[in-house]
Structure 1
Amino acid sequence: MDAFKEFLYSAGQLLKRAVAWPFRALYHIFLRLGWIWRGLVAAVLALGIFLYGYFLVQTQVWTNFEPDYVERYNFSASNANAAQATQPAQAVETGDAAIKTCAPSAVVNVTADLIDFNVNQNAWISSMLLYRLGFFGMDWDDTPFMDNKASFQRGVNQAIRRVTVELVDTLGRVRGTSQIDNNLQSARGNMQYDEYSWYFGLSPFGFKTPTPSFHRQAIQDLRAFNARLEQCLVVFDARSDNLVQLFDRIASDIGSTSDILSSQIQNNSRGPFDTRADDRFWFAYGQLYGYYGILRAARADFDVVVRQRDLDRIWTAMDQQLRAGLNLQPWIVSNGPEDGWFMPSHLANIGFHLLRFRSNLVEMRSILDR
C-alpha cells in the first residue's frame, strides 16, 4: 500500500512538472527580454485576460431574462388592436384639422423588443471575436462550455426572422396586392443577415459590419413602422387568412426544430457527455421564448378574429403550454436514452412541449379554415 501511495505521489509530481514546464520556460524567456518587449507582452496578456473576463461574464449573465416577460405588456387590459389601423381608433379635433390616430401592432412592438433584448440588453455572443476563435480552435458549439446563451439567442432570433418575413409578405400589406412597406422590407433584410459576422472576416476577406449593427437597424425600422401605423399611414392586415398563414409558418418552423431534436436523441444519446445536446436544447428554448411573446401579441392584434371564431380557450391552452416549456431550465443538459432511469433526456422533454405547441397551432388553423 505504501509503495502504491508513493507511486501516485511520484506520478502527481511528474504531471505537475509537465504542466508547469511551458509556463516556467515562458517566464524565463520573459525575464531575458528588454523592458520595451516586457511591456508589450504584459499589455497583450492584460488585454487577453480582460477580453476573456468580459467574454465569460457576457456568456454567463443573462440580463433581463424573464420567462414571464409578456406580462409587462398587459395585453388583456388593451381593447385596441392593430386591425383598427384601417379604421381610425379615434380622431382628435385640433382647430380646423382632425388628427387621426390608429392602434400600433403588438406583434411589431414585441418583435422589436426581442431584438433589443438580444443585442442591446445583452451582448450578441455569436459574433464576438472570442466566440468566433473558439476553444483552442474548436468551435464552442462542439464543447459543453460558453455556448448556451449563444444558442438561446439564435433560437429567439429564428422566431424573429420568421415573423419579419410574414410582416413583409402578408401582415403589412392589404391582401398581398399593395406595395411592400419599406421599413418592414428593411427589417426583414437586416434580420436575415449572417448571425456570426464580426468587424473583420476571411470569407469574403475584409472589413465587415457586425451582426448587432444590422439587428439594431431592424429595431429602428420596426419602431418606425409602428409610428406610421399609429398615424394611419400604413396598415396591419389582421384578417383570419393572414393568421392562418402565420400559424402555418410557425408550425413549419417548429416542425423543423423537432426533427433536429429527434435526430440528436436517436443518434447521440450519451447523457451529459453529448456536447451538442445543450446547443439543441437552448436553441429550441429560445424559439419557445420568442414565440411565447409574439403569439401573445398576435392574440391582441387579431382580437376580433379570435373572438369571432371562439379561439380563446384553445389559445389560452397554447399560452399555458408555451409557458410550461419555459420552466425547463436544467443546469446541465442531458441527452440520455428516452427509457433511461439514471440521466433524463432534456431534449425529449422540450421536444414534447414543442410538439404540444405545434398541435395547438394546427388545431387553431383547422378551426379558422372551416
Structure 2
Amino acid sequence: MLEPIVQFFQRIFSAIGRAFGLLVAWLVWPFLAAHGWYRRRTWMIRAPLLAVLALFIGLYGYFFWQTQVWTGFNPAFVDDYRWSERTIPAGQEIGTSAPAFPETEAATAASAAQCQSSAIVDVVANLTDVNVNQNAWISSMLLYRLGFFGIDWDHTPFLDNKASFQRGVNQAVRRTSVELVDTLARVRGTSGINTDLQDARNNLQFDEYSWYFGLSPFGPKTPTPSYYRTAIRSFRAFNADLAACNATFDTRADNLAQFVDRIANDLGSTSAILRERSENYNSGWFDTRADDRFWFAYGQLYGYYAVLAAAGADFSQVIRERNLGPLWSETLAQFQAALRIQPAIISNGREDGWIMPTHLATMGFYILRVRSNLVEVRSVLDR
C-alpha cells in the first residue's frame, strides 16, 4: 500500500539529483573545455595565459581584501581627541612661545604668539586621511569601475558597502569644507578667502570615480585619491597658520547657527533618499540598492558626528554663553545611537513585515531625530 508513495518520492528525488547533476556539469564544462584546450598548447601560449590568470587572481584578491577590511573604522573614535579638555575657542590666542634664540635682539623683543587650532579642520583632514591613506579609495579602483561582469557594483549586493560608506563620509567633509571657506574662516564675510581652505574645497569636489585612465574625456587622468591627499595637506597647512595666529577662524554664534543649519539640510536630503527607497521598494534582503543607501547614510552620520563634536570644541564659548551644553550633548548622543546600528545584511522590507526587517526606515528615523535636535540648536542660537 505504501509502495506507490515510496516510488513517487524516489522519482522526485531522482529528478532533483539529475537536475543538480546537469547544473554542475553545465557550470564545470567551460573549465574542463578550457583545461583541455590549454593542455594542447605550447608553453609559448601557456606562459602568457598563466601570467594573465595570476594577475587576475591577484587583482581580485587585493580588491576583495580592500573592500572587506575597514582600517580605522571606529564609531567611538571621537573620544580619542579629548576635546572636552579644550577651554579656548578656535583662533583665540592661548599664549606665546619661547624664542628659539633668546640672545638675539629680535627674539628678546617679542615672542611668537600662539593661537588655538581648529578641531573641525583637524577632523576633516583625519577623516579624509582614513578614506584615502589608511584605506584604498574603493570607488576609483579599476575593478570597481569595471563592475561585476559589466554590472555596476552598486547594483549588486556584493563588495560595495565600504565604497558607499566612504562616499558618505566624503559628503560630510565636502559640506564642511564649503562652510569653512565661505563663513567659518572669514570675518563676517568681508575678509579674503583663505587660499589653503579654498584649495582643499576645490580638490574635494573632484569626481569620486576617477582612475589613472578614462574614456570621457579619453586619456590619462589624475586619480581621485591624489586630489584628496592634496586637500589633506591644505587643511593641515591652514591649521598650522591658525596655530601661529596667521589665519582667521570666526567663532560667532551666527556662524555656528548657519553651519548647523546646512548640516541639518544635508541630512534632510539623505532622509528623503532613504524614504523614497523604503516606500517604493520592499524586496527585503533582495533589494540590491538598499545597502548602498544605508551605508552612505551611515558614513554621512559618522562624518558629521565627528565634525559636530569638533564644533563643540571650536565654539565652546558660544555653547557656554547660550547654555547649549545639555542640548549639544543630547545631539551627539543621537548620533551615537544611530551609529550603533550595524546589521550584517541590509534589508529593505515592509515596515509592518515580520520576517524581513526594514533597516532603511530605521536609519531614516535616527536621521530625523538627529535633524530635529539640530533644528532645535539652530533655534536657540537664533534667539
Q: Corresponding residue for 2:185?
A: 172
Deviation at 1:343, TM superposition (A): 1.7
- Measured against aligned partners, the alpha-carbon deviations of 1:172-209 in whole angstroms (never above 9, x if no partner) come to 11111111111000000010000000001111111001
Secondary structure of 1:98's partner? coil
Q: Corresponding residue for 2:160?
A: 147
Give the Cα–Cα distance (whole angstroms) in 2 for the partners of residues 93 and 123 of structure 1. Answer: 41
Contact 2:257/2:381 (8 A) holds in 1: yes
Contact 1:155/1:285 (8 A) holds in 2: yes
Residues 1:316 and 2:321 aligned together: no
**Aligned-residue identity in percent:** 59
Q: What's the RMSD between the two structures over aligned residues?
A: 1.0
Q: Corresponding residue for 1:284?
A: 297
Q: Corresponding residue for 2:143?
A: 130
Deviation at 1:93, TM superposition (A): 4.8
Deviation at 1:83, TM superposition (A): 4.1
Q: Corresponding residue for 2:207?
A: 194
- Measured against aligned partners, the alpha-carbon deviations of 1:282-317 in whole angstroms (never above 9, x if no partner) come to 000001100111000000000010000110010000
Secondary structure of 1:201's partner? strand
Deviation at 1:114, TM superposition (A): 0.2
> How is 1:1-370 mapped onto 2 (pairs within 5 angstroms)?
1-84=9-92, 88-94=93-99, 95-370=108-383
Deviation at 1:9, TM superposition (A): 2.2
List runs of 5+ in structure 1 lacking aligned partners: none
Give the Cα–Cα distance (whole angstroms) in 1 for the partners of residues 135 and 249 of structure 2. Answer: 30
Give the Cα–Cα distance (whole angstroms) in 2 for the partners of residues 330 and 124 of structure 1. Answer: 23
The TM-score normalised by the length of structure 1 is: 0.97
- Counterpart of 1:316, as a letter, is S
Secondary structure of 1:101's partner? strand
- Counterpart of 2:15, as a letter, is F
Give the Cα–Cα distance (whole angstroms) in 1 for the partners of residues 159 and 290 of structure 2. Answer: 13
**Greater radius of gyration (CA):** 2
Deviation at 1:7, TM superposition (A): 2.1
Secondary structure of 2:256's partner? helix
Secondary structure of 2:192's partner? coil
Structure 1 segments, 4+ long, off by >3 Å, are none
List runs of 5+ in structure 2 lacking aligned partners: 1-8, 100-107
- Counterpart of 1:186, as a letter, is D
- Measured against aligned partners, the alpha-carbon deviations of 1:205-261 in whole angstroms (never above 9, x if no partner) come to 110011011000000000000000011011111111111110111111001000000
Deviation at 1:89, TM superposition (A): 1.5
Contact 1:83/1:302 (8 A) holds in 2: no
Contact 2:91/2:243 (8 A) holds in 1: no
- Measured against aligned partners, the alpha-carbon deviations of 1:106-130 in whole angstroms (never above 9, x if no partner) come to 0000010000011111111000011
Contact 2:161/2:292 (8 A) holds in 1: yes
